[in-house]
Amino acid sequence: MRSWTVNPPNIEITGLENHSLRIFDSKTQRINLIPKQAEPIQIYVCGITPYDSAHLGHAFTYLAFDLMIRAMRVTKQNVIYVQNVTDIDDPLFERSRKTNKKWTSIVDDQLEIYRKDMQALNIMAPDHFVGVVENIDTINDEIEKTIKRKLTYQLGTKWYFQTRKANKSLLVKDVEDHELITLANERGCDTDTPGKLNAIDPIVWKESKEDEPSWNRDFGTGRPGWHIQCISLANKYAKLPLHIQGGGKDLIFPHHAMCEEQAMALGLGDLATNYCHVGMVSYQGSKMSKSKGNLVFVHELINKGISPMVIRTCLMLNHWQSDWEFQEVDIIKAEKLLEKINTNLTGKYFSRNEFDFILESMLNNIQTPKILEFLSQLDPDKNDERSVPTDTVLSALLGLDLESV
C-alpha cells in the first residue's frame, strides 16, 4: 500500500552502538532487553481498520512505536517495521451500508487522511504498509493450511479455529475463562453461536454477504477472519519470531492471544518474543470509541489550527503504557511547554551528560514525560561543555521538529 514519508532519524554521535532498547513486555510483565544484533529487529504493529480516520488513541499507539524505532535507529540498530491495514473487516462493511458508500471508497478516503495525519505528526512510516486485499492469496493459503491440518471445524458456512486449553496464550494465562468470553463478546466475537466447541473460538473464514468482497477457494466462497490476516502478513513481511508485536491494550485479547495460539498451531512457533500494548486514551469519562461517539480526531485538531508538534507533545506528556484522559487543557499545556523548549533550546547545544540522560530515558522503556520535564528545566547557557546540537537530538529521538512550530 502507498505509505507516507517521514525523514529517518539522522544523528552522528559516537559511542551509541553499545546501547540497546529495554521495553515492557505484556507477556512476561517485565521490562526486557532487545539485544543488539546484526540483523534488523522485526516489529509488527496491528494497524487501523480504515472505516474512520485516526483519533488520538490511534495516534498515541503509533507514536509509541515511532519512539521505540527512533531510539533503536539512533543507536544504529536496523529495524524492519511492518504495519497492516485491516481492509477486510465487519465494521468497514457495516459503515458502507450505513453511509451508502462503496467500501473501497471508504478505505481510500480514510487511508488518505490517516497518511496525512501520520506524516503531520512526524510518525515514522512502516517499511511495509500492507493490506489484506493486496495479500489475499497469501492469507487464503494460510487458511487452507489451517483447515488441512484439522485445526478448524466448520459450522454452516463458517470455519472456526479450535482453541485448546493446553495452548492458552500466556498473555491471558491468569484470566478466567468466563472473563475471556465476556471480553471476546465485547470485541466482536460471536461467542453464543450454537455448536461452537469453545465460545471464544475465532472465525478463520466465513461466507461473505452479497455486498461484501469474496474469494473462491476449495473450502468455500467468502473472506478471511481477522487474526489469520495478521499472522499471514507478519509471516510474509517480517522474520518470525517478531521481536515486538504491538498495538493498543485492547488487542491483548482476543486478537494477540489468538494470533499467538494460531501461529503456534500452524507450526510457525512463537509469533513474538515481546508484546507491547499501548495505553488507552479516554475522553469525557470513557475510552474513545465509535459506539460512544467521544472521538477526538487528529485531522480535526489540525484543522482547528493546532500545530501537529503540539499534538505530538501533548501525547508524549503521557507514558506509552498509561491509560489517560484527554482534556482540552492538555493542548494548552503542551503549547506552553513546546514554546518554552523552542525558545530555550532552538539552535543551542546539549552537554554530553544531558544528551546521555535523554537517550537513556528513551532506551529505558521510552519515558517521554520524564524527558519533557527535564527539557523544560534545562538551562542551555550553563557553563558545561556543550557539544550535541539540540535540534538534531529533539528531531531524531523525539520527532520534534522545532522549526515547524
Minimum distance of Zn ion from residue 63's CB (angstroms): 18
For the record, the C-alpha cell of 122 comes out as: 512526524
Q: Which is nearer to Zn ion, 19 or 227 (CB)?
A: 227
Cell 465509535, residue located: 290
Cβ neighbors of 128 (< 8 A, separation 6 or more) are 80, 81, 82, 83, 237, 238
By beta-carbon proximity to Zn ion, the closer residue of 199 and 230 is 230
User: Taking the alpha carbons of 388, 394, 399, 400 in that order, is the dihedral positive or negative?
Assistant: negative
CB of residue 226 to Zn ion, shortest distance in Å: 7
Q: Which is nearer to Zn ion, 251 or 296 (CB)?
A: 251
Based on the number of CB atoms within 10 Å of its own CB, is 109 exposed (0-12), middle (13-18) or buried (19 or more)? middle
Show the binding pattern over residues 132-171: x = contacts Zn ion (CB under 5 A), - = does not: ----------------------------------------
Q: Is 230 in the site for Zn ion (CB under 5 A)?
A: yes
Give start and end residues of each alpha helix (H) in 283-367. Answer: 298-303, 308-316, 328-345, 352-363
21, 23, 45, 46: which one contacts Zn ion (CB under 5 A)? 46
**Which CB sits closer to Zn ion, 27 or 73?**
27
**Site size for Zn ion, by CB under 5 A?**
2
CB of 256 to Zn ion, least distance (A): 7
CB of 36 to Zn ion, least distance (A): 27
In this structure, are residues 11 and 393 in contact, taking their beta carbons and an 8 Å threshold?
yes
Hey, how many other C-beta atoms are within 10 angstroms of the C-beta on 180? Answer: 22
**Which amino acid does the sequence have at 30?**
R
- CA–CA separation, 394 and 362 (whole Å): 12
We find the least distance from the C-beta atom of residue 27 to Zn ion, in angstroms, to be 16
Q: Pick the stretch among 45-53, 208-216, 310-318, 355-363 that binds Zn ion (CB under 5 A).
A: 45-53
Least distance (Å) between residue 398 CB and Zn ion: 27
Cell of 2: 502507498
Task: For residue 130, state whether it binds Zn ion (rule: CB under 5 A).
Answer: no
Mark the segment that binds Zn ion (CB under 5 A) among 38-46, 48-56, 74-82, 287-295.
38-46
Assess 310 for contact with Zn ion (CB under 5 A). no
Burial of 10 (0-12, 13-18, 19+ CB in 10 A): exposed
Query: 1 or 316, CB closer to Zn ion?
Result: 1
Residues near Zn ion, by CB under 5 A = 46, 230
